[in-house]
Structure 1
């Protein structure tokens, strides 16, 4: 019952967030902001996560896992409500940053709980199932946005629908039973704990960064990429759904493979797929007839990027328990969110200043970094 409530509450909250995010991009673009400015405002959510993540283990110890989950739902709800009721773009950036900071709490405590409770022989499949649920929200959020509308009255209805989903997630969180992590005096918190976990598995954290860059960060950038290359607004939003579909369909098979075969081997194949898909990207910019290829590339990015993160979570679940697992999860989430921050911030600038080649070059460098880290792992 506890895991079911956790799955359901996270599902509703993320559907609302991934519905709200692309709509915010379109709203800012309609106000006349250039692509780089829109990308920076979008990145503020990921900046909030990065800033808060080192301290989440301490907050989980103070509030308990259930209290942290409650706070991580209420604060983003209030932040999105503030964005909906105001018209000042700099305030939106600040509120989006606060929502991201609170979201780090949910992310870390939910991920670490799933990894800790899963039996070792089934950990890949169970973590993969959880990540499949998360990946489904990448699909359904933007799909609901495209269905309800992105302009005029449709956009207003979409905003309130997104808020209702986040509120439902808060209510479902109350059904998660209280659970205390055992105290572990040997495990350090804050930045000391972050550095301990980073030293223990640096390659895993590099892979987490690459996974966040391609799965979560590019989800914020794909609508802008579509608009820059002549896609209609609704089709540009559905590029995010293609990425999310890759996440949703690939996590359980990848987790099953990790339970049966070498984790490192599966990891390397995912990194190779990620790089190969990236090398096809210039075709979309050079040839309008190749536009349908963008959906396949986005699908590969979502699947391979999400798999890199999922396998990293399985790896640290094998290595750690209790507070040490919370710390290791925090480091993985921090590296993932750094990737999510860098993708829209640098990718939007690359897209603006070199529409055809800037983004492919940037993405190829990041994909190559992930593959190199795994080869040396």
Structure 2
């Protein structure tokens, strides 16, 4: 095997392993902080606002990220961030106050954003086009495993005291270890000049908005699903267990679905996943109380919903190269931040105003507003292919 190819595979393995741990941390963080605040009697609207601040940091840091990635090796930057992030979670546990957590979660959000921007840029830089879907599928599957294990770890540690915060900080430090496998090199520079994020957005609005809507749904579920489940009469541990099963569904189903994405129209597949997710949200209040069926529902729902994000990452790598790829990856992460601003705030307001059982309907409305975009993009692409075939 040529050395360059060996280094490429070793670097891919290091980035993917590191992000598995980061996603595990992410999987424990949102339900943990929501449960701590809810136990203090904080309103769901204020919990949503507290979550929103963490997301705002992603948007604030986004304009600076492409320039930083041109100057510093992404893997080196990720290692520095993991150390700082571990310290921040210790501070969060020592001072569990909603008002103190506002500025603290802003900094946590900025650090987490850099980890995602760096990892997605590295994955798309290292993955070759003919197996991009499968590599990103592995990345998404391993990340989903982290998400799935997060709530499970919270079941083991509980949400009281410092133990969950110590465990989270230790795991963050572990995320830096696989990064020693990654070649500490700056991203390749192509002939394109750096492009503004707004200009990049208009090159692929459907792809970018997919992450806005997905993030709004994912963050809302991570934050409010345990509270939604408790309101329906199921236990906290059972609700956290269903979150774990959703993550397992993403982890397992994303691999065959990513293989499928290498063989079908990816935009059409995106539209199909959005539509099926809407059906799943309609069924959610009934399904989570359906005893044995609840696990099967959560598994399938997690797999289909998680594929929306995976397809977004695949489409970014397919659409953008070189300097544009760094900018597009940054914007894609910023769109995640925008979604996490919109989602928990709207869902928290909706649950306070209309009742906790309305959470799935608020999320469904967001997907319904987005669905025409991938449908229109799929139809335009289909028409363009037909015209090309007619000329041949």
Using the size of structure 1 for normalisation, the TM-score is 0.90
Cross-structure match for 2:239: 236
Say if 1:225 and 1:361 are closer, same or farther in 2 by CA, change over 3 A: same
1:222 — aligned with what?
225
Deviation for aligned residue 1:178: 0.8
Residue in structure 2 matching 1:281, options 280, 284, 294: 284
CA contact (8 A) 2:231 2:356 kept: no
Deviation at 1:129, TM superposition (A): 0.7
> What residue in structure 2 maps to residue 17 of structure 1?
26
Change (3 A) 1:224 1:84: same
Instruction: Let me know the Cα RMSD of the aligned residues.
Output: 2.2
TM-superposed deviation, 1:144: 1.1
Q: Deviations over 1:179-215 (max 9, x none)?
A: 22233463325xxx21121110111112222222223
Instruction: Give CA deviations for 1:237-262 in whole Å, capped at 9, x if unaligned.
Output: 22321321222122211210011122
- How far apart are the structure 1 equivalents of 2:77 and 2:272? 36
How far apart are 1:62 and its partner, in Å?
A: 2.7
**Partner residue of 1:46?**
55
Structure 1 Cα separation of the partners of residues 216 and 277 of structure 2:
11
| 1:142 equivalent in structure 2 | 151
- Residues in 1 aligned to 2:191 and 2:103: alpha-carbon distance in whole angstroms: 36
CA distance in 2, matches of 1:65, 1:150: 33
Maintained 8 Å contact 1:217/1:339: no
Give the whole-Å Cα distance in 2 for the aligned partners of 1:186 and 1:136.
Answer: 36
SS at 1:182's partner residue? coil
Aligned to 2:187: 181
**Does 2:168 correspond to 1:162?**
yes
- Gap regions ≥5 residues in structure 2: 1-9, 378-392
Residue 8 (structure 1) aligned to one of 13, 17, 29: 17
Whose Rg is larger? 2
Query: Residue deviations 1:307-362, cap 9 Å, x none?
Result: 11211211121222222111111122222232233222211221122126643432
Q: Which residue of 2 aligns with 1:56?
A: 65
* Number of residue-to-residue matches in the alignment: 368
Single out whichever of 249-258 and 128-137 deviates more from structure 2.
249-258
State the TM-score, normalizing by the size of structure 2.
Answer: 0.87
Q: Structure 1: how far apart are the matches of 2:351 and 2:263?
A: 41
Please tell me whether the aligned partners of residues 220 and 347 of structure 2 are also in contact (alpha carbons under 8 angstroms). no
Instruction: Report what 1:93 is aligned to.
Output: 102
**Stretches of structure 1 lacking an aligned partner (at least 5 in a row):** none
Residue of structure 1 equivalent to 2:3 = none
- 1:38 and 1:292, CA in 2 relative to 1: closer, same or farther beyond 3 A? farther
Given candidates 193, 208, 220, the residue that maps to 1:205 is 208
